[in-house]
Structure 1
Amino acid sequence: MMMSRGTATMVRSVTGPMSARLFSIAAGTGSVIGAARISAGLAGSEKAVATWWIKSYPVIGARNASTVALGEKEQQDHKEETVAGGGATSGDQKGKEVVSYWGVPQSKLTKEDGSEWKWNCFKPWETYQADLSIDLKKHHVPKTFLDKFAYWTVKSLRLPTDIFFQRRYGCRAMMLETVAAVPGMVGGMLLHCKSLRRFEHSGGWIKALLEEAENERMHLMTFMEVAKPRWYERALVFTVQGVFFNAYFLAYLASPKLAHRITGYLEEEAIHSYTEFLKELDKGNIENVKAPAIAIDYWRLPADSTLRDVVMVVRADEAHHRDVNHFASDIHYQGHELKDSPAPIGYH
């Protein structure tokens, strides 16, 4: 839009403090109708510039007007709630639901007994009862070079862990789960990208591996309630997870059968670690405290469950992950791809 010399002179004359005032007023009204209101409070040349600006750029005003209107509505709703409730406290503010223009619903869930579901990190339909009847003694005997490489790689990783944690099995479990949750996420991510590149289905393996990663993460969330990590243990997590993530990522790109075999042996070591954990609990060397609330809801445990019950179900989960990853490796060894065999979704 071309301006006359006189209009341009007026625009230059009101730059500086006036321009900031003009911009804020124009954005706040957001319509040509607002020009009359603005002009009422401005003098001579300022009126002309204000009217010209809003007529020239109505989109900017309209865009801001919707946001401003939303903010005013939220403030009005908040005032009404405050009056109705006799004033809002800081606790009320923290518990208030997020108000959004986009209309995304926030689900309110309840347990089977009708009580409120207090977890937002997992939902009731993601809970389950662990299968404790699984064979814990199964072991894949390494025969090929890749199998032996995977086996001894995992064994070598166990040595520094034993030295560092010794019999502090709570912190050991915490560290173990920060690493154990990586393979499923890496494998699921790479299979996801492969599926997109090749325009093909995954046979459900993306979901199965991500399900494994989520289950391992919930193990960590549970043991965080039991063992409070020290600052240097948290620092160690950054180092170990950073190295392991990148190493496993490259290993999966190079050989998925090797990567899954490594994970299978890692799960075998996890079973051994949790078995030792149970022995220490039975001996009384570790206090058998009440099970964390998050564990009771996640595994649908009885309300009077203890730490020993939690370790039992976690160990069973690790045994199921052991089977899934050795199975995935066997599929590759037999010359097939994972998508050729249905994934054991929900196996744990």
Structure 2
Amino acid sequence: MNILKDGFNRPLQDLRISVTDKCNFRCQYCMPADIFGPDFKFLPKNEILTFEEIERLATAFSKLGVTKLRITGGEPLLRKDIASLIKKLIQIQGIKDIGLTTNGVLLPKLAKDLVEAGLHRVNVSLDALNDDIFKKINGRGVSSSVVLKGIEAARDAGLGVKVNMVVQKGVNESEIIPMAQHFKDMGVTLRYIEFMDVGNSNGWDFTKVVTKKEMYDLLSEQFELEPVDPGYFGEVAKRYKYKNDAEVGFITSVSESFCSSCTRARISADGKFYTCLFASKGYDLRRLVRTHNDEEPLIKEISTIWNQRTDRYSDERTEESAKSKEKIEMSYIGG
């Protein structure tokens, strides 16, 4: 069964599952240190979904058309024995692709185990090659070389790798060309992400956004780019190809919204179901998982929620709404 509905005809096919709200960075985009400091209280262990509960949820979603899973956080590699979860999820009928989003620090230690468990690909967050800039962004003084070692470890282990760079005016736009050159030479896909107003703590406003057009024009002065057709319905990246066939892409939630083709649902670490990255409200699926042994109540609840969704935040965003709307934090929902 593949549910569509809500006036946009958007199938439910991509599920992002946050397995922890903890991270080993204090990134200014999603976990600024002045809020997520050493005294910040993260979720108690008994409130976080167990691997068995995550497996049950993923199974229910698969029966409603989901074919792609992405494991997120926080930093998902901080979750103990994460490879065993991948092994469970890859066996679910209908699941064709499993990815994981990470800051890459623990990949040298875990990449081989993840591949053996069945993981297909990783998206690695890296916002600058310049150490001074990157250390300021990650809030922990971690060198970009540490993340680059993680990227190499993932490639050597056989994982597909994409690198995500959030671009913020006045912070790291000077790294657009160096990042492009570095990953073009590596043959690794780089995705530029417009700085978005996710959550309430990242100090977002329109003046800090470097748009896809601005980034594309800058790249075009240095490289020949050819457009690439979307690989599937609902693909959010605007993709381009260099002459050597390496790819670069842009995630354009601010300047070119894609609400009408969004096929993604999100589960937080404590089992809340979110139908939009910019949602302020989640639906408690953990309660159903812990009170019902059969799948039918879960499937019915998920279907009802998705069929009633009217999310169009990026279409309707204004400077005022971006400041006034309460939204779930990125560290909680996982991106």
TM-score, normalised with respect to structure 2: 0.21
Q: Quick one: higher RCO (CA 8 Å, sep 6+), 1 or 2? A: 2
Task: Please identify the structure whose Cα radius of gyration is greater.
Answer: 1
Larger strand proportion of the pair:
2
Larger helix proportion of the pair:
1
TM-score, normalised with respect to structure 1: 0.21
